[in-house]
Structure 1
Amino acid sequence: MLKATFSNEQIDTLKKIDKEIKPNELISLFDKSNLDSDELVQILKASNALYRVGLQVITDEQYDLYISMLRSINHLHPYLNKVEPEALAEAKTVELPQRMLSTEKAYSKEDIEKWLKRILKAAQEINISEKDIYLRVTPKLDGYAAFDDGQKLYTRGDGYRGQDITRAFDRGLKVAENGVRGLGPGEIVIKKSYFDSKLSDIFENSRNIQAAIIAEKKLDENVQKAIKDGACVFYPFTLIKNKTAHFSEIIENFESIVEEIWKAVDFDIDGVILETTHEDLKEYMGATRKSHRWQIAFKVNEDSAEVKVISITPQTSRTGRISPVAELVPTKLSGVTIKRVTVHHYNMVKTKKIGSGAIVEIVRSGLVIPKIERVIKESEVQLPDNCPSCGSKLLWESDHLICPNKSDCPAQTENTLIHFFKTLGNNDGFGPKVIEKITNFGIKHIHEIYQIPKHKFLAFGFGDKTSQNLVDQLQASREIEIEDWRFLSAFGVSRLGGGNCEKLLQHCPIVELFEISVEDMVKIDGFAQLSAEAIVEGLANIREEFFKVYNLGFKLSVTAKESDRVSLNSPIAGTVVVFTGSMQQGSRGDMEKHAKTLGAKVAKSVTGNTTYLVTGEKVGETKINAAKDKGVEVLTEQEYLSLIG
């Protein structure tokens, strides 16, 4: 792919952030053309970590390319469904007052129009007229994502937990546009004009300065002066320059509006963000685990080339699907040398006749992984008969070739174990390299890993300190509380991601879920017949292993049942509650969870359907008056606590 080297500072930083990352191994991966999903994740984790601390090793375009390579291998990979963390080395995490999500990306006007169709469809479903649908377009600041609750400033972290960086305000950092503290999510940024004129000879890029502002070490005097001069600011999203208009006007004048917004601020931006302004529509559409459905980021780039196919390489995924990867004559596209591209499935290979010697047009839109746009010259195709990992005879399932060997296929086994620990997310020891080493000694199941004693890890070739750490991590993963939906999702059942797990567990305890029928599942909102059939079959396949792991004694927080919420006899049962500001009773997240157990529906923003707005400290009068104008009852934290007894 590309050449890369690491400075001593980058190596030290990587060691602090993730002990599993080995810089020497990473350097070889950067120069490798045939990367598997584990190798891609290693590159992405290291590149993201270095970028966040101002020690960027690859360009944004190259990072996007690796993301898309991973998506083309496995679009359901856990790394793709997590918020890319704003991480600091050697810093403890704390719960965020409010979830901070990434933004879905689009790379063409057509992508925006598809997103808009989803907006209009949702509006129709809740009887919102098209004339009331307006879009807000803002610059997508390329800074350091953070959240200000008025008392503390937090990094975005993983979207749920971040790190306390209030020291940035203590150092004199101001809110942009003469704003006040406590306006929620935003970005730490520096003016481009100031950087170019005063700091470009001292710092390689503005990211170095953003990282320095929040770092624990003593602040560089040049950065301190930039803060004093007002060039470095925290820019809340609510204050950012924007254009708000009816959606029809936005689409009709899309190119000119994008150009206008792109030049609206004196800060680095990497796109524009579009979002609906209708609060009821926002609440109805909600969010995935990674991004809001009512918001999208538009980024620009497109390039294409005609390329010769050298060969088609089969790769086995965690689910047993065989992914065809087209090895290409190395071709430069958008500044990056492309050597491979994943074909969607083997039926496409067969029908489009994409084999050795074929000529294809590849398009790289939005600085992402190229896709095959069309086949210019066909060639003879050779389909694999056997799994490249275990040698089992392959079977056709719809458009895909499948390895049926679920129990003894090394690729499926290894990827399943990696998926479990990644999704569980409550221990740091069991990354791809550790899993690979363990599976080489015949470990095939999750429960077997938890039964490995220290002397076995030593026998596997781990050092004494590492072996003890691995034992401790396994113990910790059973003792650190995690949500039951996350635990279930970690087993990797097809079509059973975190959201669907939570929906099911609102209706059925986790241990009883394996008895649910397809007919009963279809009755639950959000589950169609085909999805229900796939999930029921998947649950049957993991049942034995699930209970072996479950019985090891994990500490699971139980999802509140839908029936409990309806039947609870509490003053807020059936109401819609929004919490804002800094709470004294506990974190806002804790209060939201407690409100749910009392039968309330918790929302993130005030709409006409909101029953109570519960206010903590430092909540602006504008927000309170806006709620009152909608007929919402505003309660102080103490009034709310008195209400619920």
Structure 2
Amino acid sequence: MTDADIKKNMETLTNWIRQQDYQYYVLDNPIVPDSLYDLKMRELKALEAAHPELVSPDSPTQVVAGKIASGFRPVTHALPMQSLDNVFSLEEFKKWAKDFDPDLEFSAEFKYDGLSLSIVYQEGKLVQAATRGDGQTGEDVTHNALVIGSIPKQLTGTGWPSTLEVRGEVVFPKASFAKANLQRIADGKEPFANPRNAAAGSLRQLDPNETRKRPLAFFPWDIGVGREQLTSNSHCELMSKLVEWGFILGEYQALPLKDLPEQYDLIMKVRDSLEFDIDGIVLKVDSLKKRAEMGSTSRAPRWAIAWKFPAQQKLTTVESIEASVGRTGVITPVANITPTEIGGVTVTRATIHNMDEIDRLDVREGDQVWLQRAGDVIPDIVKVATELRTKPLPKWTMPATCPCCGSPVVRAPDEVAYRCTGGVLKCSAQKKGMILHFGARKALDIQGLGDKVVDALVDAGYVNTPVDLYHLTVDQIADLPRQGKKKAEKLQEELEKAKTKGVRRFLIALGLPELGNHLSKIIVEKYSIRELLDCSLEQLTDLPDIGPKTAEAIQNWAQDSVNRKLVMDLLALGFPDRETQPAPAVSTGSAALAGSTFVITGTLSQSREVFQARIEQAGGKVSGSVSKNTTYLLAGDSAGSKLAKAKSLEVQVLSEAEFHAML
């Protein structure tokens, strides 16, 4: 390849990256996933490393991306707000770290996926807030920073410099992001692509009243102007001062270089349980003196690196769309995609939820789409790259008949879902779904009753309802693929054991609509299973947390003749009709938990459900998030952001041993 060819490739990559930077930083409307952007940036860096004589001073690898959007006053940063270089694997991290002393200490911080912000205080009062922009000049968003609750308007404590610049990230909570997108869709607006996009769009509003409506949070990650007036030579110690001055801070601790890979793995494991999106960890030399010695390039410091997690958004191709029939007859469009590694897992299918979502996304067979995966959840298609559609593609339509049983497919006037009308007696997909749910972990937890066994039992004609499981012979089970006599006998033992797991789990296993662990517990404390079948709407809505819609759905299920027969047949087999064990009494020693609110986090010796039950039995209640109303945080190993937030709010933190001692 000639120099001219190489230069042309570099120019093509540069122009592509600049276009994406404009979409991402200026318009807050990214059109490609981060993984593709990172790949193109790495291609450009590799070419520049091999041909340094061809590197342009204004290459995207040499400057910080971002421009000023119209409508905002430009603000020149007193100190440049640099970007960070990235590594994507343990090998790349080791290459970056090879010249460091293995005992040199680093901070390992969450790499929040949000919008960088510089906040300036004069004599403790907030006077200016600006986005990073291109690193030299940002946008004045002071009016919006003033309505973000976690940004102090007046510093507390003492010891802050007369001029102090706090740098950090504005982020959007994941739960609120989902709600905001539902509202945007209802309002006919384009949904945000991701929480970072939502945070940026919320902060860069000309009207602060619009910003006020969105639950933005701010997490500091450095001090700019004013740092020279502070005596500490440790970054972690310096950041801890910000808590005294009124900021909410993630947990900062100094770790030796050799421990950083273990910390990376630990943070990646808790990633999906965090309240906010993170896409990696940021590693910074803790010694400020050492930082000054190492210096920076024009774009990024040499003393810090962003070690990014495997991508959870990627671009892939929809090869086909099929109609998948669930246990209740609801038909869900599922996309078969080109095998794609995302979040460390290779996926081949993605849900599209319903026909309305198909229409909203305008996803078609052959499209390139953004795929997003969180934790163990089936990946979602979140956006179609329509700009990459090179030819007309036909729209996908819901089939008129069920692909499993040929029954008509209908959509009720007040429902989003399409349903197969065949029911469990006719539709094999509904049969399989019902039986799988019956033996699922959160229901009766029948070991050995997995999807392959259920498929084989239904396809062989041995099982049509859960009742049939109890009429199977050892030989019938043993003849199934990959089974045998020992597995057959074990499955029969598990089926008998299921009868002893209590009425609440039995009720969950029946698969009534809207009924999970919480509502099932409420129902069985009041009614037996037989009584539930004949409950009136008034009786159901009199129960806590059961509204008219849920009550109607339960009653409709209970009045169906097929469902009633299923329940009576299972009761005849020995399943429990009512709760036989009285609720444990609250002891005098545990009465102190009355009125207390707990949050549980980290890895404990038993499941969280066990600890929740003990708290509730002792008169307390359990919440999912830490707030000023939290009384105690019960923290096990590997506690993450909830522990940091509890400390910042001065919530009392209990170890498991302290919790048991309290009871």
Q: TM-score, normalised by structure 1?
A: 0.45
Bigger Rg over Cα: 2
Report 1 or 2 for greater relative contact order, CA contacts < 8 Å, sequence distance ≥ 6: 1
Q: TM-score, normalised by structure 2?
A: 0.44
